[in-house]
């Protein structure tokens, strides 16, 4: 019988199909070899036809008509949806009870009251609105506000008086030339009132001044000066006094020890003067020794500077003791001799002590001579200089000055000069008139002052108020004219008239220098921020609604539903 043919092995379809598909796909790829898929080519042809038809003008018009119809439908449908929403809200409100409205208004009033109290506290302490500060600092960048980029350099003309250079805040703290005695005056005030007249910041500055004035590098060679060097760093007054007595046990001619005892241990001005006389005797002897050997080494030169500071300080305080004890002519002579003997140490501003003593003597010609020397454009100004110059010019016209007469006939030349001098003084320190006119209460002046600040105004008015009262009509002239200064400088922080723009940092420094029980004068006065007014109004309105809801619940429910 014939043999059957041998079986042919055929691979399964499941193994061959992927390979064939890959071959067909490769043939229809970018190589251009092999037949393409007929279905894909037809789809591409249909897509090209649709794209050409859509680009036709009639197709674009049809699409615009369809979009217009959709927009018209949305516009017509919106009132219907709004009506349905209002109906739902009306149904919801109709189910609310008077208790809900009362709770809502009370809660709103309470929350807005808390925000108002916090805003007021933040403004009183920091001078800014908390909500405005957060909005500017955090929210404005999130919503795309302008970033704080440095402004481009501006070109200033020569007529602007270097305003850009003077816009920088000038808050240098100066030693008060008329500072009181701690033991004989500040401590007595604390014993009587129970209030601390000096701040820690002020006393810390005085400790630094004492270390700069009364110590040098050669103190380690003398045991008494080493003890005093540690005494000036002590915070406890009793520890400083104890160290001064220890220094005197080591050296009976330690001038700085007598200075410390006169300032802090003496309970009266008479006792302080006794200590200062002993310090003067010891200081003159040490000063003569230092003069003989000051050229031997730099250390001896530093010791001579220290001994000079001690001697000048002691003589000035002795003159102040004589002034306080009523020996004014003796005090004036001591101050004049001191200014002739040591013309360079101007850090103590002895001429301001001399001005006050001369005013007490009513020696106005001598006061004018001192002002002619120190009221110079090249020298730093002070409230004592500016207001004393205004007082002398006001003295010439104040006795016959009358606002009614001046408004009818106009101001004379002397009156114009007096008014301009007052405006100049007020521009330099705008805080002084309120103390001179007794619109604000005085406190003991601090040991350090900030020029053009409230601390300087307190120090000036504390000693010079009596001189203004002594001249008849001077305070009346000041009262009638001082506020006119602010019309000449409407933006004092940006531009001044006779002086540089008013520094914006005085409030912070004055709060550090003046005691906490004193209300610091702020210039220019800051307006209440918008959010304080807004929260106060919201709190009041909510409280009024809560009261009305509690008193007339049915009527308020009807009003709310209406």
pLDDT at 332: 95
The string of pLDDT tens digits covering residues 279-292 is 999 999 988 888 88
Using alpha carbons only, what angle is made at residue 313 by residues 307 and 315, rounded to the nearest 5 degrees? 105
Domain boundaries, the chain: 178-348, 363-536
CA–CA distance from 183 to each of 175, 237, 315, 394 (Å)? 18, 10, 19, 37
More confident residue, 267 or 165: 267
In terms of pTM, does the model score above 0.85?
Answer: no
CA–CA distance from 367 to each of 302, 389, 391 (Å)? 36, 9, 11
- Closest Cα to residue 33, out of 43, 23, 41? 23
Q: Which one-letter DSSP state was computed for residue 483?
A: G
pLDDT at 544: 83
| CA 446/CA 197 separation, integer angstroms | 8
B/e letters for 502-539, b = 16+ CB within 10 Å, e = fewer, are bbeebbebbbbbbbeebebbebeeeeebebbeebbebb
Q: Are 441 and 496 in contact (CB under 8 A)?
A: no
The per-residue pLDDT of the chain, averaged, comes to: 80
Least confident of 35-44, 158-167, 208-217, 248-257: 158-167
3-state SS, residue 181: coil
Q: Are 508 and 125 in contact (CB under 8 A)?
A: no
| CA 256/CA 244 separation, integer angstroms | 8
Bridge partner residues of 173 (DSSP): 450
Using alpha carbons only, what angle is made at residue 381 by residues 379 and 384, rounded to the nearest 5 degrees? 130
More confident residue, 260 or 39: 260
Residue 40: which pLDDT band, with cuts at 50, 70 and 90?
A: low
DSSP element (H, E) containing 173: strand 173-175
- Rounded to an integer, the average pLDDT of 353-373 is 93
| CA 206/CA 448 separation, integer angstroms | 8
Residue 167: which pLDDT band, with cuts at 50, 70 and 90?
A: very low
The string of pLDDT tens digits covering residues 176-223 is 999 999 999 999 999 999 899 999 999 999 999 999 888 888 888 888
pLDDT at 526: 61
DSSP element (H, E) containing 384: helix 383-395
| CA 305/CA 478 separation, integer angstroms | 44
More confident residue, 350 or 57: 350
Least confident of 152-161, 173-182, 217-226, 549-558: 152-161
96, pLDDT greater than 50: yes
The string of pLDDT tens digits covering residues 452-498 is 999 999 999 999 999 999 999 899 999 988 888 888 777 776 777 77
| CA 252/CA 385 separation, integer angstroms | 41
| CA 136/CA 117 separation, integer angstroms | 21
Least confident of 104-113, 357-366, 433-442, 507-516: 104-113
* Most distant pair of Cα atoms in the chain: their distance: 164
- Give the range with max mean pLDDT: 140-144, 286-290, 387-391: 387-391
pLDDT at 120: 74
Number of CB atoms found within 10 A of residue 56's CB? 10
Q: Are 158 and 493 in contact (CB under 8 A)?
A: no
CA–CA distance from 365 to each of 339, 361, 362, 389, 460 (Å)? 19, 11, 9, 12, 21
- Closest Cα to residue 506, out of 519, 488, 524, 490? 524
Q: Which one-letter DSSP state was computed for residue 452?
A: T
| CA 333/CA 319 separation, integer angstroms | 9
Count Cα neighbours of 238 within 13 Å in the Cβ-side half-sphere.
0
More confident residue, 517 or 84: 517
- Closest Cα to residue 316, out of 291, 288, 282, 341? 341
More confident residue, 523 or 477: 477
Q: Are 329 and 302 in contact (CB under 8 A)?
A: no
Question: Under CATH, what is the fold of the domain 178-348?
Answer: 1.25.40
Q: Which one-letter DSSP state was computed for residue 449?
A: E
- Closest Cα to residue 463, out of 343, 356, 334? 356
List, as one string, the DSSP characters of 322-376: HHHTT-HHHHHHHHHHHHHH--S-GGG-HHHHHHHHHHHHT-HHHHHHHHHHHS-
The string of pLDDT tens digits covering residues 527-538 is 566 777 777 787
3-state SS, residue 111: helix
């Amino acid at each position: 019988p014939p043999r059957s043919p041998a079986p042919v092995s055929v691979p399964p379809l499941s193994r061959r199909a992927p390979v064939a598909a890959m071959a067909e796909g490769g043939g229809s790829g970018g190589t251009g070899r092999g037949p393409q898929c007929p279905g894909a080519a037809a789809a591409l042809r249909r897509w090209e036809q649709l794209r050409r038809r859509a680009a036709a003008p009639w197709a674009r018009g049809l699409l615009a008509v369809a979009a217009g119809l959709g927009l018209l439908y949305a516009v017509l449908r919106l009132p219907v949806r709004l009506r349905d929403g209002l109906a739902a809200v009306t149904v919801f409100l109709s189910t609310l009870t008077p208790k809900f409205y009362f709770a809502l208004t009370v809660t709103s009033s309470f929350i807005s009251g808390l925000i108002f109290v916090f805003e007021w506290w933040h403004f009183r302490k920091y001078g800014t609105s908390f909500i405005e500060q957060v909005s500017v600092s955090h929210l404005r960048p999130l919503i795309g506000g302008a970033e704080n980029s440095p402004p481009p350099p501006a070109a200033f003309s020569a007529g602007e008086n270097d305003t850009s250079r003077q816009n920088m805040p000038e808050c240098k703290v100066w030693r008060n030339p008329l500072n009181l005695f701690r033991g004989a005056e500040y401590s007595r005030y604390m014993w009587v009132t129970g209030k601390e007249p000096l701040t820690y910041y002020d006393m810390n500055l005085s400790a630094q001044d004492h270390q700069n004035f009364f110590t040098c590098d050669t103190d380690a060679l003398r045991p008494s000066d080493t003890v005093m060097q540690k005494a000036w760093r002590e915070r406890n007054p009793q520890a400083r006094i104890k160290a001064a007595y220890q220094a005197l046990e080591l050296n009976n001619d330690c001038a700085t020890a007598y200075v410390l005892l006169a300032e802090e241990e003496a309970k009266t001005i008479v006792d302080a003067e006794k200590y200062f006389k002993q310090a003067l005797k010891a200081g003159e002897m040490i000063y003569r020794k230092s003069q003989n050997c000051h050229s031997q080494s730099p250390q001896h030169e530093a010791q001579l500077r220290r001994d000079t500071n001690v001697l000048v300080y002691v003589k000035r305080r002795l003159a102040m003791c004589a002034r306080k004890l009523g020996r004014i002519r003796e005090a004036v002579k001591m101050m004049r001799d001191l200014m002739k003997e040591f013309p360079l140490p101007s850090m103590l501003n002895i001429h301001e002590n001399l001005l006050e003593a001369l005013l007490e003597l009513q020696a106005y010609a001598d006061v004018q001579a001192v002002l002619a020397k120190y009221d110079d454009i090249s020298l730093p100004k002070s409230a004592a200089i500016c207001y004393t110059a205004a007082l002398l010019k006001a003295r010439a016209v104040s006795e016959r000055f009358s606002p009614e007469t001046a408004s009818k006939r106009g101001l004379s030349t002397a009156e114009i000069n007096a008014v301009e001098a007052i405006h100049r003084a007020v521009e330099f320190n705008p805080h002084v008139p309120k103390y001179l006119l007794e619109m604000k209460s005085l406190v003991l002046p601090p040991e350090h002052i900030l020029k053009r600040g409230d601390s300087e105004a307190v120090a000036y008015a504390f000693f010079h108020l009596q001189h203004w009262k002594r001249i008849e009509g001077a305070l009346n002239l000041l009262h009638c004219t001082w506020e006119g200064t602010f019309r000449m400088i409407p933006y004092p922080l940006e531009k001044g008239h006779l002086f540089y723009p008013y520094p914006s940092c005085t409030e912070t420094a004055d709060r550090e220098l003046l005691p906490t029980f004193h209300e610091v004068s702020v210039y220019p006065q800051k307006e209440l921020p918008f959010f304080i007014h807004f929260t106060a109004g919201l709190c009041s309105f909510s409280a009024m609604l809560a009261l009305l809801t509690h008193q007339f619940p049915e009527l308020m429910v009807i009003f709310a539903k209406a």
